[in-house]
Amino acid sequence: MEEQNKITKKRHSNKHTLFALCMALLMLLSFAGGYYVHRLTYGKESKTPIDVLNLIEKVGYVYDPETNDYVELDGDKVAEIIAEKFLDQYSTYYTKAEYEKVQAESKGDYSGFGFTWSYKEETDGGISLSSIPVKPLHSTNGNSPAYNAGLKTGDVIESARKSTDTTVTNFSTQQQLVDFLNATEKDVDYVFYLKDKEEPVTIKKTDYKATYVEYYDSENALTFTYEGNDLTNVVTARPTVNLSELNGKTDVFYVILKAFQGNAFGEMERAFAYAKEQGKTKLVLDLRNNGGGSMDVLEKIASLIIDGNGLQVKLVSAVGKNETTHFSTDRDRFDGFIEKISVIANENSASASECLLGAMLYHYGEKYKTAEKEEDRAKYNSTDCTVFGFGRLVIVKNQNGVAKTYGKGIMQTTYQLTSGGALKLTTALLKWPDHSKYQEGTSIHGIGILPKVAVQGANPNDSANAVINSLALARAIATLDEGAIILDPVVTP
């Protein structure tokens, strides 16, 4: 959600020296406090960083005793150092070019092959793909060159070459792959050789508009593509060997939501409309590897899923230093054709995904469960507690056998600077809908959401809904056939 498109910076040369120099310069600036104080505390226009950076840039060169030379300090370099030294892991400084890229990607506009990877030191080498295309936390977008070429998560790249070149580059280290990709050219074909695959994959490095939703039912698959900026539905027959858990489940539809970004809402809206046309009434929503995105997109998507009985319902409260912001559903989007919902999540389901889960758990049961008066129970619809609850939340165990979501319950706000760059800051703690001025509310930051346990004190990792990845869809479908949900929220280890 609010933590999206994070640019990881690896510029470490002379950082300690530059940091010391920056601090010295900032101390000198503090002596001019009377003149600058009204501008350095200007507020949300965020004048402070640009004023300080402009002054530092005017200094020109600063002597570096470690190198016995003069170091040129530009504003971007100083801002980056300050952000890395003083801010948390989710905050960052973007140069103008980086911020333009962030803005484009938040709209779904990417450029490249469309995959990220993870690397593990193994005797057989190779680079294991962690996601297609580029998204944090192993998420998978559609419509990228790599996705359309058939590259899949879990594939291992062993070598590659330019299509017009016979020289093959082998990847025994991560840096070799990085160097190869950095040297690639746009709109040129490259051939990638994969481990345990007879045929290589040819991929062209291009601009593309990412998609974020995939739909499957017992017979069909619905994916999306773009013709320019126009969203297009692509309906195909689903091979019965793929997602075989759906075979014979004529009332179930399975939706993979990869991120709360771009036109994810438009795709979800179309997927739901298609499900309704096909007579589907039970939803399995897959949030695995969905690391979040935009609050605006969250509000719209939640409006399709959470019944507010014609009213807006609160999804999450962002509690900041000076103000609290409430995010809510739209009142007129809920259709009501879905009777039961099951959700799959894993350790990489974070931020907006966890906000959506918290809102669903609260509005589909907790409000009904805690209502003292019969009229309040009627208001919240006594059938809601059978739609979704912890009994239908399936969480995949990680490699250590722990079943929990990521646990990111904080929000970042990005402030554009007059230089064209931007500063992203952690500005609020996120609270579930049980937050009010009378009670603190639930925060899962640093904790995550755990599976429901039937007995107080039982190990959540032993829950029937804590499963290995390959069994997640089957378990989620099975919960749709089970009875009413007994809510027993577990948000602590």
**In this structure, are 16 and 40 located in the same domain?**
yes
**In this structure, are 279 and 390 located in the same domain?**
yes
**In this structure, are 197 and 222 located in the same domain?**
no
Buried residues in 112-138 as b, exposed as e (16+ CB within 10 A): bbbbbbebeeeeebbbebbbbbbbbbb
pLDDT tens profile 285-325: 999 989 999 999 999 999 999 988 788 889 999 999 999 99
- Write down which residue in 51, 86, 121 finishes a domain: 86
Q: Of the segments 6-10, 281-285, 448-452, which one has the largest average pLDDT value?
A: 281-285
357: confidence class by pLDDT, cuts 50, 70, 90: very high
**In this structure, are 140 and 165 located in the same domain?**
yes
Q: Residues with Cβ < 8 Å from 417, sequence gap 6 or more?
A: 46, 49, 50, 423
Domain-embedded: residue 490: no
Whether residue 4 is predicted with pLDDT greater than 60 in this model: the reply is no
Domain-embedded: residue 101: no
Instruction: Give the integer Cα–Cα distance in Å for 357 and 408.
Output: 13
Whether residue 124 is predicted with pLDDT greater than 70 in this model: the reply is no
Domain-embedded: residue 92: no
- Write down which residue in 189, 208, 227 finishes a domain: 208
**In this structure, are 194 and 336 located in the same domain?**
no
Whether residue 244 is predicted with pLDDT greater than 60 in this model: the reply is yes
Return mean pLDDT, the chain: 79
* CA 131 to chain CA mean position, Å: 12
**In this structure, are 319 and 240 located in the same domain?**
yes
Residue 152, pLDDT score: 78
**In this structure, are 121 and 230 located in the same domain?**
no
Domain-embedded: residue 98: no
**How many domains are contained in the chain?**
3
Choose among 190, 210, 188, 209: nearest CA to 201: 190
Domain-embedded: residue 94: no
**In this structure, are 243 and 201 located in the same domain?**
no
**In this structure, are 452 and 363 located in the same domain?**
yes
Using the Cα atoms of residue 288, residue 293, residue 297 and residue 298 in order, give the sign of their dihedral: positive
**In this structure, are 28 and 162 located in the same domain?**
no
Instruction: Give the integer Cα–Cα distance in Å for 178 and 160.
Output: 12
**In this structure, are 261 and 229 located in the same domain?**
yes
Q: What is the distance between the terminal CA atoms of the chain, rounded to a whole angstrom?
A: 24
- Write down which residue in 70, 86, 102 finishes a domain: 86
Q: Residues with Cβ < 8 Å from 454, sequence gap 6 or more?
A: 463, 488
Domain-embedded: residue 23: yes
Least-confidence region, from 113-122, 160-169, 362-371, 415-424:
362-371
**In this structure, are 417 and 371 located in the same domain?**
yes
Domain-embedded: residue 475: yes
Domain interval for residue 152: 111-208
Instruction: Give the integer Cα–Cα distance in Å for 478 and 344.
Output: 12
Helix axes 15-30, 47-59, angle to 10 degrees: 110
Residue 282, pLDDT score: 96
CATH of the domain at 359: 3.90.226.10
Q: Which residue has the higher pLDDT, 279 or 492?
A: 279
CATH of the domain at 119: 2.30.42.10
